[in-house]
Amino acid sequence: MRYSVKTSFELLKLNLIMLIAGIIFLAPTVGVWAQSVQSLQEELAILSKNANYAKDTIYLNKANELGFLLAETDPDSAFPFLEKQIELCRKADFKKGESDALKIYGNALQNKGDFKGSLSYYQDALQIAESLPEQQLVPGILNNIGLVNYNLGNYAEALSKFYEAIIGAENSGNLYVKAAALNNIASIYFEQEKLEEAKTKYREMLEIYRKLENQGRMILAYNNIGDVELKQNRPLEALENLKIGHRSALDLESPEFIEMTARTLAGIYAALDSTDKAELFYKESIAIAEEKGYGVPYAHSLIGLAELYYNLGNYDQAFELANKGLIEAQRMGQPMQLRNANELLAKIHEKEGNFPAALEKFKQFKQFSDSINNTQGRRLATALESEYEFSKKTLELEKSSIRQRWIIFSTGIGLLTFVVILVLVYQNRNRLNKAYNSLKEKNSEIENKNEVLENTLTQLKSAQQLLIQSEKMASLGELTAGIAHEIQNPLNFVNNFSELSMDMLEDINQEIDKGDLEEAKLLTAELKGNLSRINNHGKRAGSIVKGMLEHSRKTDGKKELTDLNRLAEECLKISFQVLRTKDKILNAEYYLDLESTLPKAPIVSQDISRVLLNLINNAIFFCTQQKSEAEAKHASEFKPQVKVSTKRCLDRILISVHDNGPGIPEQNKDKIFQPFFTTKPAGKGTGLGLSLSYDIVKAHGGELTVETKVGEGSTFTISLPLDA
């Protein structure tokens, strides 16, 4: 039995309780719904006693909640209420409430099967939602617009809106809208026979609903997974999922969920040849859908029951129900049910010997089937196949008709039949030739476009070279400015203290001439301090120059296969030993986590050692700095820790240096590899170490990256290729 999935909006609305674009509530039972309607009406009656209730956002929000419940349970009664609500929100200039009311009105139209009518309301709601400072309503409205396009067969546009909705939902943390959009994408995959992709999306949706503890939406997920398994010819697995879903729907006493799971159970029992149960569940679905005005489910179950009767040989009842389902689908302009109804009617006409009518219905079936799968790429790829299948079906129907005429009219008619077959074959060949020529023209057009794209790519490469040269010049300017700025500071100190020392020498000579040797000695001691400062700042300038020479130095070292585990261990121990000689109270712990089967890598060991020593020294500095700050706050339990680890990842080796220091602020993360930029206190670093390390790793064909979190520490990772 052909079993088509429910429309995405139907699947969504069956469990969207107080949320279709960002209003979040729990899924109630039908009894709770009735209680909620009554409760909201009582609250609104109390609020309306206030003369300014139309400007009261509390009243307007409550009214939107009531409108939502009415749109889901009784769309016809929702329309006049929502028209008044939209007008009240406009008078109060309550934009958020107006956007909500327009969106809910669109929901009511969708529930009635008026997809095109709902689109204008959603567009108006979206325009208002996008103008609000907080665009929390936007993802849900985009999802609903996607549903309209899906139900109208515009799959490419629908997918685009669903993915936009997912991105917006993730940014705003709205798991309900994300799960709804996942469900809708899965429904499109289902229709396009991408069953495993559909099941993956449905299971992802189920996990979200489990996390949210939303029983109603879990029913929806179980139902949809059962749909996929039925399509995969696994009816027993599908039945297990639907039993869970149907029991939960009965517990909730929800007509929407009962109808949905009953319809799916009917398809499963039909596949298992349990026709009595299938008929019972189809009739249950039809009764609920007709009572509640659920257009698409009503058409779906009518066609499903018609196909069940067709398989039982009851063609009259099958024809009546299929025709009824076709009329309902035509009213809504719903392509999937139009496709299914026309296919079934074609088979019924064929069984009854009405071949012209069968051919006409088959043409309509083919038209709607192609429209559902008509993405631009698939249409080009399947043009010849569709043409051939249509011609083959036409030929089969004509042959069947000719055979009956042969029996009735004699051997002479057989000759005419042969001629007709030849004509049909000739026409079929002509159609195939036309399709082939059309495909050739398309290929030629694509080749011309490729040539234009190649020319454009050449121009872009030329522009890219100019941009690279411009970037290099800009970088050189930054580097020059950095050098000048960094050297200027120590030179200013040297100049200032030199001038001051000259003045002090004159003062000393004056004191000696006066015979005041004590004062001269005091001035001499101060002069000695000035000379010491001049010496320190001279060394500072020297270290900057040395760092720049190292930064620009090109190594002539040759790469050799090196044991990186041993190199990392040596660098870690050397760094701690050297720093302990400078700081006797250094109290940091270090750890090694080395992969025992790590292969040797081709590197210049001297250069990579410089990188490792620089990273480890920085790690020790910052985590001990964190220790000092913790002690100042009387939090002495903090223990500085540095960890060096190695790991193979495919064709690369990763060396990581981790510390539990203060971490790097987000605004500084992108600057740390720039020359002269440092987060260390003044005088503690030149800002060249990481820049030099970055260049060395790049010269090895590798990457130097950082992961950091303020207050928790940083991890620098060197990634080196094994085949460099």
65-98, pLDDT tens digit by residue? Answer: 888 888 877 888 889 989 988 988 898 888 888 8
Q: Provide the pLDDT confidence category of residue 445 given band limits of 50, 70 and 90.
A: confident
User: How many C-beta atoms lie closer than 10 Å to residue 483's C-beta?
Assistant: 16
DSSP state of 628: H
For the chain, count helices (H), then strands (E). 26, 7
**pLDDT single digits (tens) 341-366:** 888 888 898 888 888 888 888 888 88
CATH number at residue 592: 3.30.565.10
31 pLDDT higher than 50: no
Asked if residue 581 and residue 545 are part of one domain, the reply reads no
Which one of 293, 316, 343 terminates a domain? 293
The secondary structure of 42-84 as a DSSP string is HHHHHHTTSTTGGG-HHHHHHHHHHHHHHHHH-HHHHHHHHHH
Residue whose token pair is 């705003």: 172
Task: Tell me if 192 is assigned to some domain.
Answer: yes
Relative to beta strand 560-562, strand 601-603 is antiparallel
Q: At 30, list the tokens.
A: 């039908």
Residues 580 and 514 in one domain: no
Q: Where are the beta strands (DSSP E) in 651-712?
A: 652-659, 703-709
* pLDDT tens by residue, 631-661: 766 656 778 889 999 999 989 999 999 998 8
* pLDDT tens figures, 273-329: 888 888 898 898 899 888 888 878 888 889 988 888 988 889 888 899 988 888 988
**Percent of the chain having pLDDT more than 70?**
76
CB burial of residue 320 (10 Å; 0-12, 13-18, 19+):
middle
Identify whether residues 403 and 542 lie together within a single domain. yes
How far apart CA 271 and CA 282 sit, in angstroms, is: 13
Distance from C-alpha of 655 to C-alpha of 674, rounded to nearest angstrom: 21
Q: What distance in Å separates the CA atoms of residue 219 and residue 217, rounded to the nearest whole number?
A: 5
Asked if residue 390 lies in contact with residue 364, where contact means CB atoms within 8 angstroms, the answer is no
Q: What secondary structure, in 3-state letters, does 564-627 show?
A: HHHHHHHHHHHHHHHHHHHCCCCCCEEEEECCCCCCCEEECHHHHHHHHHHHHHHHHHHHHHHH
Distance CA 11, CA 5 (A): 9
Full DSSP string of 512-552: HHHT-HHHHHHHHHHHHHHHHHHHHHHHHHHHHHHHHHHHH
Res 397: pLDDT: 46
The C-alpha angle with vertex 15 and arms to 14 and 17, in degrees rounded to 5, equals: 115
Domain assignment present for residue 343? The answer is no
Q: What is the pLDDT of residue 475?
A: 45
Average pLDDT over the chain, rounded to an integer? 77
In a domain, 359, yes or no: no
Query: Helices (DSSP H) in 374-410: which residue ranges?
Result: 376-381, 383-409
Query: Of the candidates 235, 232, 210, which has an alpha carbon nearest to the alpha carbon of residue 221?
Result: 210
Tokens representing 597?
């089967």
Q: What percent of the chain shows pLDDT beyond 90?
A: 11
* Burial of 574 (C-beta count, 10 Å sphere; 0-12/13-18/19+): middle
CA dist., res. 561 & res. 550, Å (int): 24
548 plus 568 within the same structural domain:
no
Which DSSP string corresponds to 125-174?
HHHHHHHSSS-TTHHHHHHHHHHHHHHTT-HHHHHHHHHHHHHHHHHHT-
Count CB atoms within 10 A of the CB of residue 617: 19
Give the pLDDT mean for 447-458: 80
Does an H or E element contain 714, and which?
strand 713-721
642 and 691 co-located in one domain: yes
Please say whether the dihedral angle defined by the alpha carbons of residues 408, 409, 411 and 417, taken in this order, is positive or negative: negative
| Residue 12 and residue 317 in contact, taking contact as beta carbons nearer than 8 Å | no
Q: How far is residue 98's CA from residue 116's CA, in Å, rounded to a whole number?
A: 20
Whether residues 575 and 544 share a domain: the answer is: no
* Residue 169 pLDDT > 60: yes
pLDDT of residue 36: 62
Q: Is the dihedral of CA 630, 631, 636, 640 positive or negative?
A: positive
Instruction: Please report whether residue 351 resides in a domain.
Output: no
Residue 399, token pair as written in the block: 């042959």
Residues 568 and 702 in one domain: yes
d(Cα 71, Cα 112) in Å, to the nearest integer?
9
Are 664 and 620 within one domain?
yes
Across-strand partners of 590? 642
Q: d(Cα 647, Cα 592) in Å, to the nearest integer?
A: 12
617 in a domain, yes or no?
A: yes
- 652 three-class SS: strand
Q: Is residue 400 part of a domain?
A: yes
CATH number at residue 88: 1.25.40.10
> How many other C-beta atoms can be found within 10 angstroms of the C-beta atom of residue 501?
17
Number of domains in the chain: 3
pLDDT tens, position by position, 175-233: 888 888 888 888 888 877 888 888 898 888 888 988 888 877 888 888 888 888 888 88
Global pTM reads: 0.41
Vertex 508 angle, CA 507 and 514, to 5°: 90
User: What is the per-residue pLDDT for 9?
Assistant: 33
Give the per-residue pLDDT at 676: 64
In a domain, 347, yes or no: no
Question: Which of 264, 293, 322 is the last residue before a domain boundary?
Answer: 293
Q: Would you state the pLDDT for residue 436?
A: 76
Identify which of 89, 312, 313, 309 has the alpha carbon closest to the alpha carbon of residue 325. 309
- The gap from C-alpha 610 to its chain's centroid, in whole angstroms, comes to 41
Are both 714 and 570 inside the same structural domain?
yes
What pLDDT, on the 0 to 100 scale, is given for residue 58?
81
| Owner of token pair 């009406």 | 41
> Are both 634 and 526 inside the same structural domain?
no
DSSP result, 244-267: HHHHHHHHHT-HHHHHHHHHHHHH
Write the CB contacts of 586 (distance below 8 Å, at least 6 apart in sequence). Answer: 576, 579, 580, 620, 624
CA atoms of 524 and 511, how far apart (whole Å): 11
Last residue of a domain, one of 254, 277, 293: 293
Candidates 123, 49, 62, 122; CA nearest to 94 is 62
Handedness of CA 239, 244, 250, 255 (dihedral sign): negative
The answer as to whether 314 is a domain residue is no
Neighbours of 525 (CB within 10 A): 9
Claim to verify: residue 620 and residue 511 sit in the same structural domain: no
Contact (CB, 8 A) for 159 and 146: yes
Q: Is 542 in the same domain as 589? A: no
Higher pLDDT, 379 or 246: 246
Owning domain of residue 35:
8-293
Contact 202, 183 (CB under 8 A): yes
Q: 668, 573, 580: which is closest to 616 by C-alpha?
A: 573
Give φ, ψ of 691 to 5 degrees.
-65, -45
- pLDDT at 5 (0 to 100): 28
